[in-house]
Structure 1
Amino acid sequence: MYDSAKTIEDLFEENDRLKQRIKELERSESDHCLAERALRNSAERFRSLVEATSDWIWETDYRGIYTYASPKVKDILGYEPLEVLGRAVTDLMPPGEAERVAEILAEHLERPKPFQRLENINLHKDGRIVVIETSGIPIINEWGHLEGYRGIDRDITRRRKAEEGLRATFKAVPVGLSIMKDRIFRSVNQAWCDITGYSDPEIIGRSTRILYEDDAEYERVGRELYPEVSEQAIASVQTRHRRKDGGIRDMVLTAALLQSEGSSLETVVVLEDITDRNRKEQDLRESQQFLRTIFDNTHDAIVVHDAEGRILDCNQKMLEIHDISREEALESSFLDCFPAEDSPGELQKKLWDRVMKGESFQFEQRARRLSDGSTFEAEVAVKRLVLANRPLILANVRDITQRKAAEAALREREETFRALVENCGDGIVRFDRNHRYLYVNRFVIEHTGFPLSPGEFIGKTFEDVGFSREICDEGHEIVERGFVSGEIIRHQFQQPDGLWLDVIQIPEKDDSGEVKAVISSARDITERKENEALWRVLFQAAPLAICAVGEDRVIMRVNDYCLRTFGYLPEEMVGRTARFLYFSDEDYRAAGEALYSTQYAMKELRMRRKDGASIWALVGRSYLDGTSDSGGSIIVFQDITSRKALEEQLRQAQKMEAIGQLAGGVAHDFNNILQAILGYTNMVLMSLGTEDRHYRKLKEVEKAGEKAAALTRQLLAFSRRQVLQLGPLDLNAVIDNLMKMLRRLIGENIELDILPGSALWKVNADRGQMEQVLINLCVNARDAMPDGGRLSIETQNAWLDDGVCARHDGAKPGRYVQMSITDSGCGMDPETKSKIFEPFYTTKGKLQGTGLGLATVYGIIRQHEGIVQVDSEPGEGARFKICLPVIESSEQELFEEETVLPPGGHETILMAEDDAPLRFLTEEILKMAGYRVLAAVDGEDALRIYRGHAQEIDLLLLDVIMPRKGGRCVYDEIRAVHPGIRCLFMSGYSEDALHTNFILTSGLKLIQKPFKPPDLLKMLRRELDGSRSEASPEDRRVPGVSQRASA
């Protein structure tokens, strides 16, 4: 390596090696000369290099005292080398700098280490400031101790001044400048900070990502800008930056390459804020678009021509009128739109010349459509303009075809209106401010009686025409009110001759709103006034509640019948909205929707009387004048409460009828099944002793069967399809016979009071059914008093009039026996009370009641043509009133107590039963009693057997309903040939074979299924013996009916 290519550090290292080598040579006598020569050569090379370099080379001891200074020190600091030796490093520096460097020097002397390019300020011998860049390495002896430092100083004063000038320029330039490396800020000027809002410390060392709205924009700029900078050395891109305060600005970035090292780029970037420029450009575009939009959307066609009349531009309306494209329009001229045939060509030329001289014209002319040559009426305004020293002609063209047509139509309407005003049936007059006539129509001329023509009225006052003082005064007052109020005024008055006039004053105002005239219309309403008087008479005399209401449903007038219907005084109804006639806001709203949705409406509504009572009304509404213009209406209320009650009774009767049909449909087959179960069970029980181990089990089967039979009879009873065996009955005796049972039934915690009526009339009733009613009502009362209470049963004679009977379907006025059952229980609310007679309705818990008890009571009493009433309030107990019609016959009921089992016999019985198990059971019962039995499977079979054994048969035992022929038909055919034949019918349910309206036909005997064998044998024996005595209360009950029923 050449010496000139070596660095100072290389020379220092080589010198050290030579020194080491000299020491080695000193150890060796033989090498001494060689070492001395090498040392001299090395020192010479070192001296030549030191003198050749432009830098100052120095050495210090371990205290920082110069021990060597190269000659270049004089060029840099002005000192001779000897003047420097022995002086401290800091002696050549200003005081402040000397202190700073002393701290650095102390650190390096304490912990020796190399240093490079440390800047410090020195004082030239002549006092000038010299900026030095110094580098040095420590000198370590063979013992590892610091001997000093050896280094080199370079004068960078001129470079530093250039850098400071460049930096000042960088900072002061008004364009945003930054120096960055790999998009990391190294330096920014003030303009950059002003644009971005960041200060210098906030941005230096940070990525340019902080200036972008999102990563996508940051990456886009990176992709588009820096590859081009790398290739072209300079590039630009538009982007959007986010300022520190969050504001978004439009920017142009221009980047120039400073240096590149592989993929690393150092660039200077110019930042230009173009937000305002973009905004101005956008404003300009929007302004142009705004003006163009207005230009294209004006009502008139706007056309710009050159001096020769060629079209240079036009708006959208021009294209629409002519139905052409813009290109077609730009190929046309003014004369194409207004051809010479509509006006002389010379006239057009003169007009054009005058326009070119600056005159403006507006005229109407027929124009020609450029698309098809058709013409239309046009209003044209032409004016000369000069733009950019270029004369232009601006033409506004308006299609006035419709306006022309409208003007013609207006003239026609005016003529029509004038004809209507002249010939209408009202007097039309127009007055000025001084009440002078400005116009009168023909009606006024004909009906005032003055010999004046229409023209002679004009300009005259009431007095000038000749009206009476009374009419003049009233006329002036009415007209003046029209001028003063400025409002439409309606007034009715009667003239001295009895003529009624309805006058409407209409103010006619000018543009400032001042009344300049009053138009008066007078109509003869004498006939209407007479009709109104008649209407008022009818309004009061009508047997309907009528009221007149306003648009807001405020009552304006009511008739007397309306007051009586709702129980109010006139002042309590007039002036109020009709809301108080309804129970709730929802009812009021629903009524409004129903009544006001059409011109005429009718609706059944529940209304409220003053006393709070509810009534049903058929409500009709109609507008007062037949239209909705007046807003007023006439409301008519017809009280239909009684009709609604009858309808409810009819619905209840229909419901009972439907359930009765259902009950009857199943009763026959169900009772046949129960007959077999109970019959065989009873026969087995009679054959067993009470101590038998199966006896109690069979008794439970029997009880279950009896309950099922009772349930079927209850279904038939509440639906009034139970066949009754009626007779004269004393209700006091019924109550007396049931006393012991009732006391056991209601329990010891309920006190029972019996209040029998004296000389009680007898009723035509079925004893068993009446006992059923009494038991059910007592059970119902017991359940209403779980903690005890008082139950009273009272009977009395009563007379029901038409008013009472009208509330109960089928009831007839006359004598009745009333039985009242009153309890002190929990009572009932109105909703419960309205449902208690419905089948299966119960207030008891699940599995605690069938819901048939009171329904059964209702069915039985209604079947007896009686009525049931209930009075109850919550917490006040309940009272059930049963009213039964009195029997007029004096026949007495006789009761027999049978305490022994009926005896059998040896007679012959013809038995007909279509159900095989029942037929076998009945046959076995009869045979066990000693009877001879002839069994038939149906009616035809029974007749066949009878014809073969007519002389042997003592009694007929017939099922009512059988295939081929029923029991009643069999009986009637046999009785026709054998009138004295005895017969007993069996039935689980009979539709109409043995009864009329479910009352047993006189002379017929019936045992209802399911029955017990003893009951059958009792009735057979009685019929065979011909006994006419009545059975005991137990016998008179329909066999199989349970003595306890569910309430």
Structure 2
Amino acid sequence: MSDGAPTDKMELSADACRFRALVECSSDAIFVTDFDSAEFVEVNQRACKLFGYEASELHGKVGRELHPPGSSEIVDEISSAITQAHSVTRNAIELQRKDGSIFRADLRSHRYEIDGKRLYITFVRDVSAREDRKRELRDTYDHLHDAKSQLSHSARLAAVGQLAAGIAHEVNNPAAYVLTNLELLANGIQSLQKLRDSDDYVDKKDILGTFLSETGECVEDCLEGLGRIATIVKGLRAFARIDREDVERFDPNESVITALNLVRAQVRHSATLQRRLNSTKTLAADRGKLVQVLVNLLMNAAHAIEDGGGGSGSIVVESADTPEGIRLSVTDDGPGVDPLMRERIFDPFFTTKSVDRGTGLGLSLCSDILRQHQGSLVVDPAYTQGARFEIMLPAETGLAPATVRPTGVPNPDPVRARILIVDDEVALVRAYRRSLGRYHDVLVAYDGQDALDLLKDDQNFDMILCDLMMPIVNGIEFYEKAALLAPQLRRRFVFCTGGATTVRALQFISDRGIRLLEKPIDKGTLNNAIHQSLQLRESLLVSVGTTN
């Protein structure tokens, strides 16, 4: 509906009378408008009813008067389209009734010439109900999406609950011999201290040799045990972390190994686990969700063997390249899947397990996760010696990593740096200071406020290694205040976390490109971080020198 210059109203011809009869039968509101004046010369009863006017009130009005305030842009756009293209269509635009109420309508206008008069006819269809339904559908979709995310997270946590006893076993065993070895080392050190202070003659060389031999074995065992614990915790953190999209490019074989580490203790009493990892491709995917799928399939296989019996108790996980991408499979020698149930097992809430073992959501969520990656989950109907579930993933999943993870450099020879360590774990800070203090100048603070007080007098640091979750002033707050105090320090931050990280903190770090290390941090990773910080500072100094 648009404006123009005033003109006399046209008289109806015989053809126009016949036209009017057709117009009155329409379920759309119809306006016949003089092109030059932009005034309505004819309207049908549906138009009167829809807008709340008498026909005599609409005659002589212009289209702009049926648009709500603030609609000049859309009115001008429609007028321009009619002038240039002779027709225009706009969907779900806002129009205004006589009583001031606003509704949404689809509008179609066509320009004609009749008996020498230039006219355009506008059809208006009330779509308020349609738009309300669309809005309701969008709201429903959003609610369902949130519910699905919550279900996925709940299912993941439920799986963690089922794995808890096995995970505790896998952690407690290495923790036990780490503790025993550390106690042995402590006793040995006490004995050496007594020996040092003793005036009695003893063959200290033999005693020291024995101690050093035992010490080497103890330290190796401790490192191996702590490595096992770190591997389990890392896999668990990826599996049960805060539900968020975390796409990265990685080797899917790593997800298989993580899943096997998580279920091993829980499954080993009912089945032997084997892996045949022949895939050589990488893919962009959510690592944690792929682990979730594999853990679910492995636990299902173990339950099938326990409940069905009769097999040797074998579960085999395989990976292989395909022309289209990657195939992962989980095969067991249990009773298999009833052919009549193959189509139903992926339906939500369908389960053949007891209440304490399944909710019927596992395979449904797994299938949904793989669809998000443009992949699929199927039961191999040709396999009759048990059950084989196959995961098919394309080489390109349609997902893109949010950030490119920095590639590590070989453990570099340490160059002396000034480092500020901020962490509320006192024992950890002491360990960092002992480890790094031989090669670097290390200052420490046990919370963000202490670190800020230190920075007021000293800002000359090559790297600030800061924990994210601290009392009083946390890592994010410390970063923001430090950046106000000395903006150049923003590029020198390296955050570290033990896993208790909020979505807001992760988004904050990602948006600013800050490096994030996950505890426990080994010596090589720490040295790499220091090396990168020194390189970054050197490049900035060169850049400043060049511009000057």
Normalised-by-shorter TM-score class: 0.3 to 0.5
TM-score scaled by length of structure 2: 0.44
The structure whose RCO (Cα within 8 Å, separation 6+) is larger is 2
For the pair shown, the structure with the greater C-alpha radius of gyration is 1
Larger helix percent: 2
Larger strand percent: 1
